[in-house]
Amino acid sequence: MPPSRFVDPFGRFLDYVRISITDRCPFRCRYCYPHEPFSFIPHERILRYEDILYLLSLFPSWGIRKVRITGGEPLVRKGVLPFLVKAAALFPSLYMTTNGYFLKESAPTLKEASLKGVNVSLDTLDGTSFCKLTGVDGLERVLSGIDTSLSLGIPLKINAVAMRETLDQIFPLLSFAAARGVTLRFIEQMPISSDPGESFLSQEEVQERIRTRFSLEPLPLEDSASPASLFRIPETGQTVGFISALSHPFCHRCSKVRITSDGKIRSCLSSENELSLLEALRERDPASLEKIFNDSLKQKGLKHCFQSFHHHRGRTMGQVGG
């Protein structure tokens, strides 16, 4: 693959694109959906699968090395499974992030598509707190989705947003992941759709809790652009990661942009600067698309601006594509 064609003003090369294929989701995770009224993007403004596939066909020659399909909840969109099969055939380094609610029935097709990896979000193993946090009584479905995927050999990681109210879930989640040989990563809450307030739990606090039972040995980054710092727990042999945008920003190694489900490119999650790809996509105009990618990168700041919640009342995390 050629090196990336895109470099931002601070010398970071773009080689990773996250594409949100829908802003809809059956869950209402407290940290993701806003507490204020909001509206979904109308269907006619959502990127068509053909448009996304066209974009994916351009990526290899642009030096894009990784694509993640996300949402909203990607598995809720009609026609998503045949789309994923086609997408992975066009762009083999394809990943997906899901809440796991539709994973069990989707797993055989995901296996057939040979997705490079699936991240499943799971913040708690307690059914009551799962229901409280997501608004859906769906823990058992998510767990069976995870186990079905693993039994089929789908490469999987678990991501848990760290929250004060689920502090007691750190060890159950660690045991769950260790028993399955799966990497668990704790994500610090970002002030995007709602203010974490007292619920915010820092990497230090999670690590402090883990160290009451286990040791944490630092590991090298999985790859230079990865947001997660990794540790090995020698007592269990498992790997645990921390994605800590607030306490340990990783902006200096950020190599990604996001594409929203209505076809806007955003070079930083924390910035509301967006450029529309829609017209150039519909016209199948690669030169214009390349220019828009370049223009978007010119807007990429050196650091995120997640200092306070009031700056981030625009799109929700589910709309941008977390």
Binding range to ligand SAM, per CB under 6 A, among 78-86, 182-190, 224-232, 295-303: 182-190
Question: Which parts of 302-321 interact with ligand SAM (CB under 6 A)?
Answer: 317-318
Cα 244 to Cα 204: distance, rounded to the nearest angstrom: 10
Contact window for ligand SAM (CB under 6 A) among 24-32, 39-47, 82-90, 170-178: 24-32
Q: Which of 21, 156, 163, 190 binds ligand SAM (CB under 6 A)?
A: 190
Site residues, ligand SF4 (CB under 6 A): 25, 27-29, 32-33, 71-73, 99, 121, 317-318
Tokens of 128: 């009551």
169 near ligand SAM (CB under 6 A)? no
Compute the 3-state secondary structure of the chain and give helix, strand, coil in percent, each to the nearest 5. Answer: 35, 20, 45
Counting Cα atoms < 13 Å in the Cβ hemisphere of 14 gives 28
Count of residues near ligand SAM by CB under 6 A? 20
**Nearest to ligand SAM by Cβ — which residue?**
322
* Nearest CA-CA partner of 121 in 88, 144, 95, 146: 146
Angle at 25 between CA 23 and CA 30, to 5 degrees: 100
Q: Which of 6, 31, 62, 102 binds ligand SAM (CB under 6 A)?
A: 31
Residue with tokens 């540790």: 231
**Residue 70's binding partner out of ligand SAM, ligand SF4, none, with CB under 5 to 8 Å set by partner kind:** ligand SAM
Who contacts 258 (Cβ-Cβ below 8 Å, separation ≥6)? 17, 18, 19, 20, 265, 266, 267, 269, 320, 321
User: Shortest CA distance to 51 belongs to which of 16, 102, 24, 90?
Assistant: 90
Cα 210 from Cα 174, distance rounded (Å): 9
CB of residue 29 vs ligand SF4: minimum separation in angstroms? Answer: 3
Of 1-9, 84-92, 95-103, 136-144, the window that binds ligand SAM (rule: CB under 6 A) is 95-103
Closer residue to ligand SF4 (CB): 105 or 290: 105
| Contact yes or no for 206/170 (Cβ under 8 A) | yes
| CB of 232 or CB of 313, closer to ligand SF4 | 313
**Residue 190's binding partner out of ligand SAM, ligand SF4, none, with CB under 5 to 8 Å set by partner kind:** ligand SAM
Q: How far is the CB of 284 from ligand SAM (least distance, A)?
A: 28
Question: Which residue reads 């999987």 in tokens?
Answer: 156
Binding residue for ligand SAM (CB under 6 A) from 71, 138, 145, 241?
Answer: 71
Q: Hey, what are 281's tokens? A: 């996509």
Q: Is 32 in the site for ligand SAM (CB under 6 A)?
A: yes
Q: Which residues bind ligand SAM (CB under 6 A)?
A: 25, 31-32, 70-71, 73, 97-99, 121, 159, 161, 187, 189-190, 192-193, 317-318, 322
